[in-house]
Amino acid sequence: MRDLLAALAELRERLQEIPQADERRLHDLKTEILGRKAGALTQILGRVPTLDPSSRKEVGAAANALKLEFAAAIAARERELKRAAGSVAGLDLTMPGRAVWRGGLHLVTQVVDEICDIFRELGFTRAVGPEAETERYNFFALNFPKDHPALDAQDSFYLGDDLLLRTHTSPVQIRTLERYPPPIRVVIPGQVYRRDPFDASHSPVFEQIEGLAVDEGISFVDFKATLATFARRFFTADTRVRFRPSFFPFTEPSAEMDVQCQICKGVGCATCKQTGWMEILGSGMVHPAVLENCGVSSERYSGFAWGMGPARIAMTRHGIADIRLFYESDVRFLAQFAGGVR
C-alpha cells in the first residue's frame, strides 16, 4: 500500500509537465498516464481491488482524485493549444496565405459578355447561328452581288460547293429575320472565319458580335444613339464618338463608328496613328434589299445593324500587340485576366 501511495505522489509531480506540453507531448502524457491498458494510473487503479479493504478505500480515493486532476489538466491544456492555433500572436503575418487554384474566363469571352450585357440593358437578347453556312445566308441574302470580291474563294474557307465557314455573324441576321417577326433586337456573338494566314494582327478564326434592330420607324437617330450609348458605357461616360461614311452591301446608309482613342484621349499617338480616333465597328441602316430578301416589308420596317471584333477591342483596351496570344492559351496569359477585366 505504501508503495502505491508513493507511486501516486510521484505521478502527481508530473501534473506540472502538462501546462508546458505541446500537442505531441500532451498526447504522449495522456497515453502514458491515462492509457486504457498501459497507463500508469490505470494500472494503479487496476491493483486497487487486490488491496486489503482498509487500504483499498484510501488508495482508490487518492487514485481516482488524481485521475480527475489529470483529466482536467489535460483538457485545459488541449483547449489552450486549440486557442493558440487560431491565434496570430507571434506569427509572421507577411508569410503567404494558403491558396486554391483560381479559374477564369478567357479575355475574349469576358469582353463578349460585357458588350452583350450593355446591349441587354438596351433591350437586345442573344441569338446564335451555325458556323458552316450556305452562300445564300453568308452573302446573297445580305445583298452581296453575285460577283462581289468577297466571294473570291481565296477569302473564305469552303467545305462544299455551296457551303463555307461563315465570314461574319451577319447570316444570323437573315436567320433571325426569317424566323421572328419585328420588333427584333438581337446581338449575335460567334466565331467567324477568314482565309488570312495567322500572324500578329490576323487570325483565320476570330470572334465577332453582330447586332440587329428592326421595327417600324427606326431611324438613323436611333441607330446613332444606340451605338453611341454603348460606346459611352463600354469605355467611359465622356468618351467622344464619331460616325463617318463607309460601305457594306447589307447596310445603307453605312457608317463606321470611331471612339476617341483610349490611350491618348484624342490627342494623337502611335496606336491611333495620330488621328485621336479608334475604329470600333462597322454599321448602318439595314439595306432594304436585306429586309425584302427575308420577306419583311422595307416600306413598313427599317432598322440598323452593326458588327465588331471583341478580340480587337480587347487588344486596343489592354495594349495586347499580338492576336495569337488569344489562341496560345499560355496559362500565364490566361491567369492575368482570371479575376475579371473590370
Report residue 117 as a C-alpha cell.
Answer: 450585357
Residue 211 contacts other proteins per CB under 8 A:
no
Indicate the burial class of 291 (C-beta count within 10 angstroms; 0-12, 13-18, 19 or more): buried
Strands 125-126 and 205-216: unpaired
Q: Residue for cell digits 496606336?
A: 271
Nearest to 320 by CA among 331, 306, 310, 307: 310
Q: Please say which residue, 19 or 130, places its beta carbon nearer to other proteins.
A: 130
Candidate segments 3-11, 18-26, 65-73, 332-340, binder of other proteins by CB under 8 A: 332-340
Nearest distance in Å: CB 327, other proteins: 6
Residue 135 contacts other proteins per CB under 8 A:
no
Residue 87 contacts other proteins per CB under 8 A:
no
Integer Cα distance of 138 and 329 in angstroms: 30
Residue 66 contacts other proteins per CB under 8 A:
no
Q: Please say which residue, 115 or 261, places its beta carbon nearer to Zn ion.
A: 261
Integer Cα distance of 253 and 179 in angstroms: 25
Residue 100 contacts other proteins per CB under 8 A:
yes
The number of residues that bind other proteins (CB under 8 A) is 91
- The pattern of x and - marking residues 304 through 323 that bind other proteins according to CB under 8 A reads --------------------
Phi/psi for 133 (5° steps) reads -130, 165
Partners of 203 in the beta sheet? none
In the region spanning residues 212 to 231, those forming contacts with other proteins, defined by CB under 8 A, are 213, 215, 217-222, 224-226, 228-229
Report the residue count for the chain: 342
Residue 140 contacts other proteins per CB under 8 A:
no
Tell how far CA 315 is from the center of its chain.
Answer: 18
Chosen from other proteins, Zn ion, none, partner binding at 95 (C-beta under 5 to 8 Å by type) = other proteins
Pick one of 1, 27, 81, 204: the residue that binds other proteins (CB under 8 A).
Answer: 204
The DSSP code for 96 is: P
Per CB under 5 A, residues contacting Zn ion are 261, 263-264, 269, 271-272
